[in-house]
Structure 1
Amino acid sequence: MPEIDESMIRRIHQDLRDDLDEELELEFEDRSMDRIASEIESRDLNTPMVERQLYFRELFRLQAELVKLQDWVVATKHKVVIVFEGRDAAGKGGVIKRITQRLNPRVCRVAALPAPNDRERTQWYFQRYISHLPAGGEIVLFDRSWYNRAGVERVMGFCTDDQYEEFFRSTPEFERMLVRSGIQVIKYWFSISDEEQRIRFLGRIHDPLKQWKLSPMDLESRRRWEDYTKAKEVMLERTHIEEAPWWIVQADNKKKARLNCIHHLLSQMPYEEVDHPVIELPERQRHEDYERRPAPQELIVPEVY
């Protein structure tokens, strides 16, 4: 393995700092973004601090638009499937988290299926994905999807050549069938460079909070980089159809990839802001004969903090 030089260590530390930033995202509020916006005008836009502030500002703006999109999907009973594919550590989970972060999980949900069990391996290949498809007024995000067959199954030898070819015969028709039934299908491929994946894997190795993300399959995929590249090229060529085209997200920069993907996603639907009735908080009913009973002390969680 090539040695880890000083610049590589700096990149890994930068990734760790970005991860800490991510944990702060929900702590910020829009009014603080307005203050940041007024400060940015007089500062160097190329400094890391201002770049991070701009990222947060845009993220919150786009997430506000996602809420409007969600309301429109519910009001119009629209049905949406969004497929996220890419190499390990390409950033699929990060953008999925930002999309769902402020949305109603009953409207926008994630389907992340494990490897098929013995029974599922005897079913029609697409069968286990069917139950996760959306009803009217729902958005389903597939964190990996039926395209496992074109990627990991092909590279790792988990499917036969006949199964692989049948996948490419069936997939365009399967997706056209979904679209004819009224389901909008949007497919994203997150593209990262060889060097960027290496840096992210090293970051996971050296971060105890992220080591769980590295499986033996992930490490093997790193070794088979070129095989995955060939499989990806075939997949894009044979399943890029007018009804459900592929969109490639340049993902070496995680923050830019998230913003670009969300911005593009919003452009794929003709959503409009939905009017809501004014909400008024009702007065609480009070009864003279009601007295709240204290909870038993042994049930109280100790106040350590």
Structure 2
Amino acid sequence: MIDINKYYSVDSRYIQELFFLQAELLKLQKHINDEKLRLAILFEGRDTAGKGAAIARFTQFLNPQSYRMVALGKPTALEKRQWYFQRYIKRLPNAGEMVFFDRSWYNRAVVEPAMGFCTQKQHELFMNQVTQLEEMIIADGMKIVKFWFSIDSLSQKARIQKRLDSPLERWKVSPVDLAAQDKWEEFTRYKEAMFERTSSVKSPWIIIKGETREYMRIQAMRYILSLYDYAEKSSDVRPPESDAARIYGQ
């Protein structure tokens, strides 16, 4: 029999706050749906930083009729010949909808050039276009939130090994994950360039940091809730801790 406690631990205080914030997210979802707003949340970060699990907690109790989760795989032969942003644009939120991107168009800013999946010319074209594109989307009334989940090299190494050891998580380890440690400095260089060139006043990067993934999820949820006033919003909703959800450049 598998000893689940070997792979997972639960803090009761975390569960209590998570439940509270998930209830608030339901109120926010209703507000977005009623007011026909559009919200796109981008979850970016190094492998094993906790992006997918954070999305799972965000969406755990949401009404599936008014949110979507987008996690695109490799582009098809047809998509490779299209404008790079095309397959992402058609998945942006409709009126009254929230969309959670488990990695986004920013693959071309960090992962693709670091791993040699795109040319330097393609990378530079992306960097020249992305801010203009986001400005147009925001001017049209959509809100974009760009999260970067931070992790250090030793923690990433330990998490990759933990996944390899777990019969329930081994499938999550990809060739990119295995190469992540060897290419740590390459990822860092492209990440810093991305922050510098694509973080703006209207579309900043929000860097989520913390020693545990549970803590980081809480801070990300608090940040999203802090952006809106909605009906019956609890006075107990707190902003994220400043050192855990930092706007790049501030």
Question: When the two structures are superposed, what TM-score results if normalisation uses the length of structure 1?
Answer: 0.73
What is aligned with 1:137? 96
* Deviation readout 1:248-273 (Å, 9 max, x if unpaired): 00043111011111111111222223
What are the residue-to-residue correspondences of 1:231-242 with 2, within 5 Å? Answer: 231-242=190-201
**Count of matched residue positions in the alignment of Structure 1 and Structure 2:** 230
1:258 aligns with 2:245: no
1:162 aligns with 2:121: yes
Which structure has the bigger radius of gyration?
A: 1
* Deviation readout 1:193-219 (Å, 9 max, x if unpaired): 111101101100111111000011210
Q: Distance in 2 between matches of 1:215 and 1:226?
A: 19
Shift of 1:67: 0.6
Q: Out of 32, 40, 46, which is 1:87 matched to? A: 46
What is aligned with 1:175? 134
Instruction: Give the 4+ runs in structure 1 shifted more than 4 A.
Output: none
- Which AA in structure 2 matches 1:184? K
What is aligned with 1:278? none
Distance verdict in 2 for CA 1:255–1:219, change over 3 Å: same
Contact in 2 for aligned 1:71/1:273 (Cα 8 Å)? no
User: Matched residues, percent identical?
Assistant: 45
- Which AA in structure 2 matches 1:81? A
1:185 aligns with 2:144: yes
Q: Distance in 2 between matches of 1:244 and 1:122?
A: 28
Contact in 2 for aligned 1:91/1:251 (Cα 8 Å)? no
1:17 aligns with 2:40: no
Distance verdict in 2 for CA 1:177–1:88, change over 3 Å: same
Shift of 1:180: 1.1
Question: When the two structures are superposed, what TM-score results if normalisation uses the length of structure 2?
Answer: 0.89
1:73 aligns with 2:64: no
What is aligned with 1:35? none
Q: Distance in 2 between matches of 1:156 and 1:56?
A: 37
Distance verdict in 2 for CA 1:92–1:197, change over 3 Å: same
What is aligned with 1:223? 182
Q: Distance in 1 between matches of 2:115 and 2:182?
A: 11
Contact in 2 for aligned 1:185/1:244 (Cα 8 Å)? yes
Structure 2 stretches lacking a partner, 5+ long: 234-250
Q: Distance in 1 between matches of 2:13 and 2:139?
A: 40
- Which AA in structure 1 matches 2:116? G
RMSD: 1.5
Structure 1 stretches lacking a partner, 5+ long: 1-12, 22-51, 275-305
What is aligned with 2:155? 196
Q: Out of 153, 173, 190, which is 2:112 matched to? A: 153
Contact in 2 for aligned 1:78/1:183 (Cα 8 Å)? yes
* Deviation readout 1:168-188 (Å, 9 max, x if unpaired): 110001101110111100000
What is aligned with 1:37? none
- Which AA in structure 2 matches 1:103? L
